[in-house]
Structure 1
């Protein structure tokens, strides 16, 4: 199958390479010239604009987006709307908010264009291991695109599936990432407790290796955590600042809207926000309160 790939960052480029290895023909576009040249070096064609990309693809066209959620995706989707023809398909493989996906799909439907959302997990390991893909869209359209998903997945019948109508793929990926937040926080807190028990002189990487085999807490995330601890046991040179890309916030918001208690995911999000407050007014005020009512000492800066 032949398709276009928009967005040749690390993940997009890796996905394009996996498709090429699977026998698909890929034409890629990215504003970055070096990214396009790198793709050409892997045996793919490239285009220097969205218009050139669309012109290079045979009808009915398939265009896969791997661009950041929000305004960039909207700009790309709107530009493609004026370039594509009825029967063409856009697959959004990024981390778009599912509400944005529903809006975009409705707009495309008015122009007889198909819109598919594919929540994609796998990160930098996807090229070698395959990608986990949660696909939302019309059943017949997804069936037609099946060879693409089978190539990108860990196996033809493993690691991917149509989870429901359009919007459901990004919704499922949103919750997936919310769960990821909670798992990461639990591992980080547990290893921190171990690290603080100085009198035992615990080797965290060794403990991680033990847990990786037979333990109920074993996981690929634990594999990666153990690898990180092996490389840098004390996390030297790493600032205690944890960013978030939005999915955790969306998950918590959705839980509130649905009246579903999600304390672990919510607290893991709060922990990330807390990590960025290096000049915490909250903590300073708490210290001042203790001094006011109990005369407790205040630690000066």
Structure 2
């Protein structure tokens, strides 16, 4: 199948490569010319055979809106635009209506897999009309992990991004619990092998998970996390999850507390936030702040020393 990919960063670039390895014809565009197959979106559209599919993997907000505005003018009836970024689910309806007025389909996809996705596949949460989703199934089948799970047509337009938003909210809570447990173990004189305690939990316990594996990996690299500053960003989905909970009158005390903990990390050097920062760097290659306060680039996916299970990917 032929597809255009807009945005070839850590996620988009690896997704394009996974699709190529599966035999798909991928034409990529990125604002960095060295990563791009074409000079611009207009050339990308011209290179694609109708009916076209264009997958957008650019930052949420204005960059996504500007890209969809341009594609709305360049594409033709019968084409489909896929928003695979972390857009707010409320924006999806606007984009679907905008493109639909020109006869262009729209599908929103929450994508999870981080820097490990090229090797292990991406969990996909899809929203959109069945006719559009069905056309894209060869792409989804190539991107998802092997096996039965890792893909869901979650509902109508907006459902994919809503499901991914809640996924990331849950992730906030799990990481915060691990981080607080690590801080408490570090604070006591009774436990003298904190990394060993976490390693012991990787087998046979009810909290074993890919995040626990990544936590152990982070401690192997920096046993007391002294190389990190206790500062953790939030990329938006946690805030949106809490706001959606307010809108629907659904109590989310754990997720809300985890979001507020990230806010507090920016006021002082929080030991627990060192672990949250380390985990975000491990699973998503997100940038971290060193103990000296310098921002460093996110890590690329390592070889295969920690392989996430299909059911637990970011």
**Shorter-chain TM-score: what band?**
0.7 to 0.9
C-alpha root-mean-square deviation of aligned residues, in Å?
A: 1.1
User: Where do residues 146-185 of structure 1 align in structure 2 (5 Å cutoff)?
Assistant: 146-155=137-146, 157-185=148-176
1:156 Cα deviation (Å)?
Answer: 5.9
- Report the Cα distance in structure 1 between the residues aligned to 2:226 and 2:34, rounded to whole angstroms: 32
- Within the candidate set 222, 232, 235, 2:222 is matched to 232
Deviations 1:23-52 (A, max 9, x none): 00100000102222xxxxxxxxx1110000
CA distance in 2: counterparts of 1:24 and 1:102, whole angstroms: 29
Q: Summarize the alignment of residues 78-89 of structure 1 with structure 2, pairs less than 5 Å apart.
A: 78-89=69-80
Corresponding residue number in structure 2 for 1:287: none
Q: Against the structure 1 CA distance between its residues 33 and 198, is the aligned structure 2 distance closer, same or farther, given a 3 Å change threshold?
A: farther
Partner of 1:105: 96
Q: Determine the C-alpha separation between the residues in 1 that align with 2:92 and 2:194.
A: 42
User: Given the alignment of the two structures, is residue 70 of structure 1 paired with residue 57 of structure 2, yes or no?
Assistant: no
- Tell me the residue number matched to 1:25: 25
Q: How many residues align?
A: 269
Q: CA deviation at 1:157?
A: 3.5
**Deviation per residue, 1:254-277 (Å, 9 max, x gap):** 001100010000000000011112
8 Å CA contact retained: 2:28, 2:38: yes
The answer to whether the 8 Å contact 2:108/2:157 transfers is yes
TM-score between both structures, scaled by the size of structure 2: 0.84
- Larger CA Rg, structure 1 vs 2: 1
- 1:223 matched residue in structure 2: 213
> C-alpha separation between the residues in 1 aligned to 2:257 and 2:86?
22
d(CA) in 1 for partners of 2:221, 2:35: 29
Instruction: For residues 139-174 of structure 1, give each alpha carbon's deviation from its aligned partner in whole angstroms, at most 9, with x where no partner exists.
Output: 121111101000000026320121101100000000
- 1:89–1:113 contact (8 Å) kept in structure 2: yes
Equivalence for 2:278: none
Q: Find the counterpart in structure 2 of residue 263 from structure 1.
A: 253
Report whether the alignment pairs 1:90 with 2:81: yes
Q: Distance in 1 between matches of 2:147 and 2:132?
A: 17
**CA deviation vs aligned residue, 1:182-227 (integer Å, no higher than 9, x gap):** 00000000111111113431x2322222111111001111111111
Residue matched to 2:302: none
Q: Give distance in 2, aligned partners of 1:225 and 1:200.
A: 18
Answer 1 or 2: higher relative contact order, Cα 8 Å, separation at least 6: 2
Q: Which runs of 5+ in 2 are unaligned?
A: 270-314
Aligned partner of residue 126 in structure 2, secondary structure: strand
SS at match of 1:205: helix
In structure 2, what is the Cα distance between the partners aligned to 1:152 and 1:198?
Answer: 47
Partners of 1:33 and 1:278 in 2: how far apart? Answer: 40
The separation in 2 between residues aligned to 1:272 and 1:162, in whole angstroms, is 31
Give the SS at the match of 1:217.
Answer: coil
**Higher helix proportion, which one?**
1
Residue in structure 2 matched with residue 250 of structure 1 by the alignment:
240
